[in-house]
Amino acid sequence: MISMHRALTLGALFGALFAQNGSAQSASDKDNIQGWADRNSLSIRKAFDGTKAEQSPATLLWLLDMVGDDKEYSVIDLAAKVGQWDLAPRSADRLLIIYPVGEYHRQTQESKRAYNASLGLKGEFQLGVAKPAAPTSPPPGLEQPRGSVVAPLFMVDGKWGRDFEAASTNQRYSALLTLISNQRWLPSSDVRDARGILRLRYYPYLGIEHFRTSKDDDNQSETFATGRLHVSVWPISGLARRVQFVGETTYRGRLSGELSRHDAKDYSAGLNYYFDEHAHFGLGLEYLRGNDPDQSFKFRERMSLAFKVLM
Amino acid sequence: MAESLTNELVQKHVIWFLSGATLLKPEKIYLEYVLKDFPLLLDDKKLGNLTLQLRGYVQQYKPNATVLAPEVRKKGLTVSALVDLIVKKVK
């Protein structure tokens, strides 16, 4: 318990320092760094893998265990996205955006050793525009809104990485379709209560994922048909800005390949409590169970409590 | 056409688009609200769609003008800053 407390404290400290780009620096230095980050659309997260980890902050944790077998270990989960290129900047019917991402993950705990890094390119291709669903008619001078009830959005991802622990190289390619709509109860729309408080938003995904691992002369790959549902719920009306439930389930149906030789399932559920009304600082309890796509679909089940800083 | 477009009218139009993306009534959307924060809480996917709507709006008045997704997805962007951005584009 003592070690857990230390870990949380240190993790929170590292997280806060990192997210604020070094609070020990002068205010102007901080503004400069923040300004540079904003101009270059820099985002730092736990991962950019298309899952709810994209909403989780980076983790930099050092733990000193006073009684356990692993006396000291560290955990680093860091992903950065820099810049965004708009490939169709003049089109009012389609959005074509690409951006690079880099990830670094390391865990030195003996039973869960992990050490990998990757570079990737992600794309968002929205074809068509989802029309507004304002509760009032358009103000004077504004034409009737154009667009359709639902617009398809393709999330495309290519990632090349090295697993230093397993001495292997990995590739991952995916194309997932989700839907954008502003109509109540449809995917991505806001479901609000009578007071206008946001209560629910969800995204379904459907598509193809391909994983490839190479070690020495041995190449293994697997292709899946993937379905995912991501749900965010703000369950308590009076605390809607502070209490958030996030659930996600992913089912991968094996189409071909020999990497895992079975279908893969992954579930996660998280409860976040934010200390501020803008949901920047909080505590998050997360339960995770299923086949880990970053570890050749090995089964894992864990629960974690983390300090969250989202800037 | 753009000459008859006052800043106040552009503000009304932009707030109406935000109302259409969040399902909040226009009178409940205040200029100081940050797009990515409560109560709007627009994520990048929704802001991408909003970009397309605003592009179409801007090009009605200035066919050569455009709105970029990184401009609308910018961290900390307020309703007021978005209105200023669109005013600059249509004038």
Q: Kindly report the nearest CA distance between residue B57 and chain A, in angstroms.
A: 8
Q: What are the helix (H) ranges across chain A?
A: 2-19, 27-39
Reported as a pLDDT band with limits 50, 70 and 90, residue A294 is: confident
Q: Provide, as residue numbers in chain A, all residues whose Cβ is less than 8 Å from the Cβ of B2.
A: none
3-state class (DSSP) for residue A280: coil
Look at A126 and B52 and tell me if their CB atoms are within 8 Å. Answer: yes
Best CA proximity match to B66, nearest among B35, B43, B42, B88:
B88
Q: Kindly report the nearest CA distance between residue A277 and chain B, in angstroms.
A: 7
Reported as a pLDDT band with limits 50, 70 and 90, residue A15 is: very low
- Token pair for B76: 């900390």
Angstrom distance (rounded) from CA A246 to CA A269: 6
3-state class (DSSP) for residue A123: strand
User: Quick one: average pLDDT of A62-70?
Assistant: 68
Q: Kindly report the nearest CA distance between residue A130 and chain B, in angstroms.
A: 7
Angle at B5 between CA B3 and CA B8, to 5 degrees: 140
Residues of A numbered 237-256 whose beta carbons fall under 8 angstroms of chain B's beta carbons: which are they? 240-241
Q: Provide, as residue numbers in chain B, all residues whose Cβ is less than 8 Å from the Cβ of A192.
A: 22-24
For residue A77, is pLDDT > 60?
yes
3-state SS, A233-260, equals: ECCCHHHCCCEEEEEEEEEEEEEEECCC
Helix (H) / strand (E) containing A25: none
Q: If you search the block for the tokens 């139009």, which residue do you land on?
A: B13
Q: Chains A and B: how many Cβ contacts under 8 Å?
A: 135
CA A199 to chain centre: 20
CA B1 to chain centre: 19
Task: Report DSSP letters for B4-71, one per residue.
Answer: G--HHHHHHHHHHHHHHHH---GGG--TT-BTTSTTT---HHHHHHHHHHHHHHHHHH-TT----HHH
How confident is the model at residue A9, as a pLDDT?
40
The dihedral over CA atoms of A269, A271, A18, B81, expressed in degrees to the nearest 10, equals: 110
Q: Provide, as residue numbers in chain B, all residues whose Cβ is less than 8 Å from the Cβ of A240.
A: 38
User: Quick one: average pLDDT of A18-31?
Assistant: 46
Residue A174 · residue A50 · CB < 8 Å: yes
Reported as a pLDDT band with limits 50, 70 and 90, residue A223 is: very high
Helical pair B7-22 and B79-90, crossing angle rounded to 10 deg: 130
Residue A190 · residue A168 · CB < 8 Å: no
Look at A190 and B22 and tell me if their CB atoms are within 8 Å. Answer: yes
How confident is the model at residue A55, as a pLDDT?
66
User: Quick one: average pLDDT of A261-286?
Assistant: 87
How confident is the model at residue B18, as a pLDDT?
97
Reported as a pLDDT band with limits 50, 70 and 90, residue A8 is: very low
Residue in A closest to B42 by C-alpha: A190
Mutate to test the interface with B, among A48, A85, A90, A98 (most CBs of B within 10 A): A90
Report the 10 Å Cβ neighbour count for A110: 10
Reported as a pLDDT band with limits 50, 70 and 90, residue A148 is: very high
Q: pLDDT tens digits, residue range A162-207?
A: 999 889 999 999 999 999 999 999 999 999 998 888 999 999 999 9
Residue A226 · residue A250 · CB < 8 Å: yes
Label residue A303 exposed, middle or buried (CB < 10 Å: 0-12, 13-18, 19+).
exposed
Report the 10 Å Cβ neighbour count for A69: 8
Residue in B closest to A90 by C-alpha: B66
User: Quick one: average pLDDT of A303-311?
Assistant: 76
User: Quick one: average pLDDT of A85-95?
Assistant: 93
Q: pLDDT tens track of chain B, all 91 residues?
A: 555 789 999 999 999 999 999 999 999 999 999 999 889 999 999 999 999 999 999 999 999 999 999 999 998 899 999 999 999 999 8
